[in-house]
Amino acid sequence: MMRQYELVERVQKYDPKANEALLNRAYVYAMKAHGHQKRASGDPYFSHPLEVAAILTDLKLDDATVATALLHDVIEDTDATRAEIDQLFGPEIGALVDGLTKIKRLDLVSKQTEQAENFRKLLIAISTDIRVLLVKLADRLHNMRTLEHMKPGSRQRISEETLDIYAPLAGRMGMQAIRDELEDHAFRWLHPEAYKAVTDKLAELRAKNEGLVEEIEGALKAKLVEAGIDASVSGREKKPYSIWRKMTNKQISLEQLSDIYAFRLTAKDIADCYRALGVAHTTWRAVPGRFKDYISTPKQNNYQSIHTTVVGPRHQRVELQIRTHLMHQVAEYGVAAHALYKDMTKGAIAAGSMTSLDDKEHGPYVWLRRMVETLLEGSNPEEFLEHTKLELFQDQVFCFTPKGRLIALPRGATPLDFAYAVHTDVGNAAVGAYVNGRHVPIDTRLRNGDEVEIRTSKGHVPPAAWESLCVTGRAQSAIRRAAREAVRRQYVELGRRLASAAFDAARVTYSDDAVKRVLSKFSQKSIDELLAAVARGELPAGDVLKAVAPEAVQAAAQSVLENPLKGWLDLTKVSGLRVRAPAPGAPTGQLSSAIALRGLKDDVPVIFEEGGAVPGDRIVGVLEPGAGIRIFQIHSPQLQAYEHQRWIDMSWDIDPEKQERFPARLSVTAPNRPGALAAIADVIGGAEGNIDNLKMIRRASDFTELRIEVEVFDLAHLNRIIAGLRQTDIVSKVERVFE
């Protein structure tokens, strides 16, 4: 176990100004607090926080973070309190230890809803201070290194959590070395057979290709020396999990996977990086489609490097990564290197070892900050978890706005994802896209280097179905939110019209201000919520009228005594009720003013009942709380199943510019002869009708009764189809049915 002075020396080696007294106090306090506690391996428990601290010294982190690592379990596992930590080590370290304590209590592999909510808490905690994540990753890394001492069930849970959450987080934060080790440990325990197969095969290839890595290293170094380029070269074999994931994704065997060796060329400045690239490409044949320049277009976590693949010595595919020494530090330590390179960046740019980066666009916390913003806007934790995991795993493509702004997106992103990445308002108003000057469908997959222009339209609302066209959680959440808001506005408007109808029947002028004054009587926070409740059928419009103008309801009730029939009709109008037997000559269920129906897509959700209804039909609606309005043709027998009090008189409000189709059902009787069905379909198609469904209801030896569901524009269109069927010799009977 590392001694106290050894830990201090490790920190002072890279930070001579480190607070030695702080580190000594934290070491002694944690050792005493954990006392005689043991780990599952039998080792003293204090060995764990000490190893976590050692991992963080490898990352060259500040003394406060190292002290936090020593103390990160004391609140959870000992008698120590947050107040005591604040008093002895200051509120900064107290807050870090408290954040880690809260994370430790989260179960990230549980029921989906609980897991999603816990993941939200995790990201909020680490976004407050990124050092919480750094300590947590080091903590998880040491736990994975000693996982063999845990029970099988715990190994499974911890490995799943590591592979799903912590390894991708490490990758997004640019900490590739930690990500690789976490993934390989988790792979070993989650898929032991696959792990053994891959490692055995790698050992076999290693023996077969003995000396290959050294040969390639030597060849690269020799070519660089010839060109006068001062650069170091190192080769490595790819990690088992990385190889297995590529085999799984591409559905290929290990023998087919040719680029299992990667070499890193580290140069002194950017100019030498591109010169080294030229040497590699002129010496060996480059593999098409395997070149990526992350120096000119860095990843969101500040990763910079040139990637290429060449066919090198022994006809072996070799992946090359070319970068400067400073880029290598960022690539290895990611966000942990931020403090290291922050003060050096200005000089590094001047020296040509870094490109200029705008912190607002490329800072190492940008991805994390955007993710937290997205989760705070969302309302469904399961959806958030799903979209977040997708973003954690996906690679990136880099696209540009017409003004040259760089937008990084997950691979497979569409112009719609691009629009929402620019701004939520741009995404909501998007109606078309141009990629590289060419008009394309809005679900086109974007590629690296595409220039994307989004065309917008004021007042446009993204259809809910557009969610399936996106791959980013930001876009999907925004579309879902816009759809919810559109439905809410539609319910509010319908509720206002229902309330206005009840007020008009009582000869009372409706106004929002009058309704606002009675909100407290209905326990509603706003007039919009009250009107939406009316539209959903949760609150009768008559109750709102009674609260605003009770005298109007009383007057209607008094008229019942004076003139029973007329008074009862007046009362039902005021209360929003309907009666089975209205005044002589009046249509069943009629109100003084009907509610207009705007069609299938632009208003409150509607459901057409069995048999359907088409413009021109007299229709009645029934409110279904939470679902919308169920539409019935006035003669539909299904309508009788609902109490008349729930009926709403409806009228059609169809935009003549839109050619929308509506459902209707026909009963057709035809003789059993070849070509009969084709003739019927020909008549319907010739009249521009659309057959949505067809069923044989009754089949005799000579005749068959068919039930045909058609989609038509209006009642006149339907009647033309019926007339056309009746004129054919093949049809003996046709009629419209509602059951």
166 and 262 assigned to the same domain: no
Last residue of a domain, one of 168, 195, 222: 195
Classify residue 529: in a domain, yes or no. no
Distance separating the N- and C-terminal Cα atoms of the chain: 81
Identify whether residues 77 and 146 lie together within a single domain: yes
Cβ atoms < 10 Å from Cβ of 585: 5
What tens digit of pLDDT does each residue of 318-370 get? 889 999 998 888 887 766 664 443 443 444 444 455 444 444 444 545 656 66
Half-sphere exposure of 187 (CA within 13 A, CB side): 20
Burial 331-367 (b: 16+ CB within 10 A, else e): bbbbbbbbbbbeeebeebeeeebbeeeeeeebbbbbb
- Stretch (H or E) spanning 156: helix 152-161
Q: Is 114 a catalytic residue?
A: no
Tokens of 37: 């506690």
Catalytic residue among 62, 77, 98, 538: 77
Give the per-residue pLDDT at 271: 93
For 556, the token pair is 């209607």
Please identify, among 161, 195, 229, the residue that sits at the C-terminal boundary of a domain: 195
One domain, residues 337 and 216: yes
In this predicted structure, what is the pLDDT of residue 106?
64
Rounded alpha-carbon distances, angstroms, from residue 430 to 352, 433, 461, 481: 40, 8, 9, 15
Task: Let me know if residue 471 belongs to a domain.
Answer: no
Question: How many angstroms separate the CA atoms of 455 and 434, rounded?
Answer: 8
Which domain CATH number covers 83? Answer: 1.10.3210.10
Domain tally, the chain: 4
Specify if 62 maps to a domain: yes
- Domain co-membership, 676 together with 650: no
Cα-based torsion angle of the residue sequence 402, 404, 410, 414 in order, rounded to the nearest 10 degrees: 0
Kindly state whether residue 414 falls inside one of the protein's structural domains.
Answer: no
Q: Are residues 162 and 231 in the same domain?
A: no
pLDDT score recorded for residue 303: 82
In a domain, 644, yes or no: yes
- Same domain for 56 and 127, yes or no, is yes
236: which strand partners? Answer: 262
For residue 414, the model assigns a pLDDT of 93
CA distance 400 to 577: 59
Query: Are residues 645 and 698 located together in one domain of the fold?
Result: no
Q: What are the helix and strand counts (H, E) for the chain? A: 32, 20
Catalytic position from the list 76, 493, 528, 653: 76
Counting other chains too, the contacts that 681-689 makes at CB distance below 8 Å and 24 or more residues apart are 683/721, 683/724, 683/725, 683/728, 684/708, 684/710, 684/721, 684/724, 684/725, 686/724, 687/717, 687/720, 687/721, 687/724, 688/713, 688/717, 689/717, 689/718, 689/721
Q: Specify if 417 maps to a domain.
A: no
pLDDT value for 584: 32
Domain holding 87, by residue range, is 4-195
Asked if 153 and 13 sit in the same domain, the reply is yes
550 assigned to some structural domain: no
Ranges under pLDDT 70 in the chain: 105-128, 249-259, 300-301, 334-396, 553-605, 625-628, 643-646, 655-658
650 shares a domain with 731? no
pLDDT confidence of residue 560: 43
Q: Is 367 helix (H, G, I), strand (E, B) or coil?
A: helix
User: Please, are residues 611 and 665 in contact by the beta-carbon 8 Å criterion?
Assistant: yes
Strands 292-293 and 306-311: antiparallel
Q: Is 77 one of the annotated active-site residues of the chain? A: yes
Examine the domain organization and report whether 586 and 647 are in the same domain. yes
Q: Is 189 a domain residue?
A: yes
Q: Which of 626, 642, 657 is the last residue of a domain?
A: 657
Q: Does residue 115 sit in the same domain as residue 264? A: no
Max CA pair span of the chain: 113
pLDDT at 32: 93
Are 176 and 286 in the same domain? no
pLDDT at 601: 43
